[in-house]
Structure 1
Amino acid sequence: MATEIIRGASRGRDWLRGNDQPYSDEIPLVASTSEFQGGGQYGVEVPVINSLKVLEQTVDLLKREGLPVTRFNETLGAFLLSDNEVREMLDVCRENGVGMMFALGPRPEYDRKASFYRGGFGGSQGRRVNNNDALAVTADEAIRLTELGCRGLIFYDPGVLRMLRTMREQGVVPAETQFKASSHCIVSNSYTSQLYAENGADSVTTIHDSGLPVLQEMRKHSPNLVLDIPTDVYGQKGGFIRFTEVPELVQIAAPMMLKLGASAQGHPADPVTQATVEKRVQRVALGLEQLERSGVKASYIGDTSLQRALPVKA
C-alpha cells in the first residue's frame, strides 16, 4: 500500500505554509479571479519591435492574419531611435489601437563602462546601472520619451525603478506612465515580484522558465501587477516553446500578457528581416491556436487603445 512520503525542509515548509506563502511545487492550480481594468484576462505582447519599419511590417501581417495584439516592446534601447522615429512609431500604434513600451538606456553593453559587463563575471551582474552618469542619462531618457508621448517604459535595474517611481510621484513623468520590469530583472519567485510591486512596477516580465505553481503564487501575492509571461524563447536563451501551457497560463495568472514570438530569433540582437517578422507572427498564431483548441473560455483584454500597460482590477 502506498504511503505518503516525508518531505525535507519541513520547518521551512511549515513556516511558509503558516504565512500563506508557497511551500511546494506541488501546490494545486487554481484559476485567478482578477482581470484588467478594461475587462479581460489576457492580452498579447510581441517583443523585438525595434524600428518603425519592423513595427509597420508586423502590424500589417498581424492584421492580414486576423491576429490580436495588445502591445509591442522595443527592446534594444530607445536612445538608438531618433525623436522622429519614436513619434512615428507611437502614431502607428495609436492608429491601430496598440500599446507600445520603450526600453530605457543606457544598457551596460552600450555604456562607456561596459568592459566589466562584457567579461565572464560581468555578465552575472545583469543589466545593472553602475555609474551616476548612466543614472542621469536614464532619467533624461525617461523625460524625453514621455514628452514624445510614450506612456510605457521598460527598465532593467531595480534602482532605476526606484528612481522612476520618484519621478512619477513628483510629476516629472506623467502619473499614468507605466513601468515594466524586463526579464533581465530576474523575477523568478513570488517574493521578488512583491519587491518590484512595492517599488512602483506596474508589470513584470517573469523569468522564462517559471513553472505554473510559481506563476500562480506571483499572481496571488502581487495582485496589482500585470504578469508578462514569455511563452517561447530566443534560441540562445534556451529556445523552449511552452505553447501547450497557454490554457493554464491565462487561467492561473490573469490578468496577464502572453509574450509571444521571441523564438523567431536566435538572439534578441539579431537583425529582424521580413522572414523574421513572418516567423514571429506565425508563432503568435500557434500560441493563440493552443488556447482556442483547449476550449478554455478566456477573455481577451477589453481596451487595447491605451498607450500603456493596463492596471489590474481584483
Structure 2
Amino acid sequence: MTDASAPAPRRPGEQALATLGLAAPALSPADASPHAFPDGGLWRTEIPSVEGPECLAEVFKESDRLDVPIHRISQGSGVWMLTDAEITEMVDACASRNIELCLFTGPRGTWDIGGSTRTDSGGAGLRARGHDALAGSVEDALRASSLGVKCLLVADEGVLWTLHGLRERGVLPEDTTFKVSALIGPVNPASYAVFERLGADSVNIPSDLTLAHFTEIRRVSRAPMDLYIEAPDDLGGYVRMYEAAELIRRGAPLYLKFGLSKSPGIYPFGAQLRETALSTARERVRRGRLVLDLLGRHGADGGMSPLGSRLPGPLNRFPLTDDKD
C-alpha cells in the first residue's frame, strides 16, 4: 500500500522546468482512481507473449538477473498451440514462484477461414465465428483448467459470457479469472463496464487512451486494467514509460504490461520463431526494469501489490438467466 506520509512523487523534469517558468499544472485529486486491488496494492506487473516453457525459463532467468518482480505471465498463441506436457511444465514453473499463468483461448477469427478479417475493415477481428469456434474456446478453457491454469485470456464477448456462466455453475473453478484481450479492448467507460459485467476480471485497454479516459473509466468500474506501457506494433507501438506514475494514479488497480515495439509478430508461435521468441522474451523483462527504474527515480514505485497476488476482488456482474426462462 502507498504510505500516506511519504512525499508526493516527483513529476518528470519538474524542478528544472519550474526554473524556466514552465511548471506543469497542479494535479487534481479528483482525477485519482479511488480503487485498489483487494490486497491494497495499486499496480501489478505482467510479462506478455511468453509462448512456451523455454520462453518462460528465459523470462525467469532474466527477471532474477534484473530483479524484476512478476505477478502474471501471459501467452498469446493459444491453449491449442501447447501440448499437455508444455502446459503442465508452465503451470508448475509459475506455481513454484507464485506467479499467475494466463493462456489464450481460441479459435480466433483472424486465423480461421473467414475472409472478412483480411479486408481493410478487419471484419469481426479476433472474435469466435460461429458455434464451433465458441465450442473450441470452451474446450480450450476446460482443458487448460484441468491442467491447473487459473487465468484465461479471451477475445470475444460471447466467449467471456459463456465462460463466466460455466464458472458460476461450477464447471470451471470459482477462482478462475478471465482477462480481456487488448485486441478487443474497450475505449469508453460504458463498454468497459459492460466487459466487467460479462465476467471480466481484468480488461486490456488500448494504449492510446488519454489520461482523461482513464479517469472516466474509473468513475464507473473498479475492474483491474491491463495496459501495455510499451505496445507491440500491431497495437500501435506506443511507448508511455514517462507516464507510468500518472497512469497508475488514474488507472489503479492496474497491471503494467511490458510489451515490445519494433519487433516481429510471433503468433502463432512455433519452432521456426524460436530465436525471436527467446530474445523478445528477455527484452520484455528488460523493458520492465526500465519502467521500474523510472518509477523509482521519481519516487513513484510504492503501492505495488505483494508478489503472489492474483484475485481482483468483488466486481459487478450481469445476473445469469435461468435456462427455463
TM more than 0.5 = yes
Partner of 2:8: none
3-state SS of the aligned residue for 1:128? coil
Alignment-mate amino acid for residue 310 of structure 1: P
For the Cα contact (< 8 Å) 1:135–1:160, is it kept in 2? yes
In the TM superposition, residue 311 of structure 1 has moved relative to its aligned partner by 2.9
Runs of 4+ aligned residues of structure 1 deviating over 4 Å after TM superposition are none
Deviation, 1:297, is: 5.2
SS in 1 for 2:193: helix
Is 269-278 or 89-98 further displaced after alignment? 269-278
Q: Post-superposition shift, 1:39?
A: 2.8
Who is 1:23 aligned against? none
2:128 aligns to what SS in structure 1? coil
- 1:268 Cα offset (Å): 4.9
Equivalent-residue separation in structure 2 for 1:273 and 1:131 (angstroms) = 31
Is the aligned partner of 1:64 residue 2:65? yes
Matches within 5 A, 1:1-314: 28=28, 30-111=31-112, 113-121=113-121, 123-223=122-222, 225-263=223-261, 265-269=263-267, 271=273, 272-296=276-300, 298-302=302-306, 304-305=307-308, 308-311=310-313
Taking the aligned partners of 1:35 and 1:128, their CA distance within structure 2 comes to: 30
Q: Deviations over 1:139-159 (max 9, x none)?
A: 111111111111101100111
- Distance in 2 (alpha carbons) for counterparts of 1:93 and 1:250: 25
Equivalenced residues, count: 282
| TM-score (structure 2 length as normaliser) | 0.81
Q: CA RMSD for the aligned pairs?
A: 2.0
5+ residue gaps, structure 2: 1-26, 316-325
Classify the secondary structure of the residue corresponding to 1:36: coil
TM-score by length of 1: 0.84
2 CA distance for matches of 1:116 and 1:129? 13
| Range 293-302 or range 70-79, more displaced | 293-302
Cα distance in structure 1, aligned partners of 2:183 and 2:201: 16
Distance 1:183 1:309 in 2: 20
State whether residues 207 and 238 of structure 2, in contact with CA within 8 Å, keep that contact through their aligned partners in structure 1.
no
Describe the superposition over 1:197-248 as per-residue Cα deviations: whole angstroms up to 9, x where unpaired. 111111100112111111122122112x011111111134322211000010
**Identity of matched residues, %:** 30
Distance in 1 (CA, whole Å) between partners of 2:149 and 2:285 is: 24
Counterparts of 1:108 and 1:266 in 2: how far apart (Å)? 21
Contact 1:255 1:312 in 2 (8 A): no
Instruction: Note closer, same or farther for the CA distance 1:283–1:81 as it changes in structure 2 (3 Å cut).
Output: same
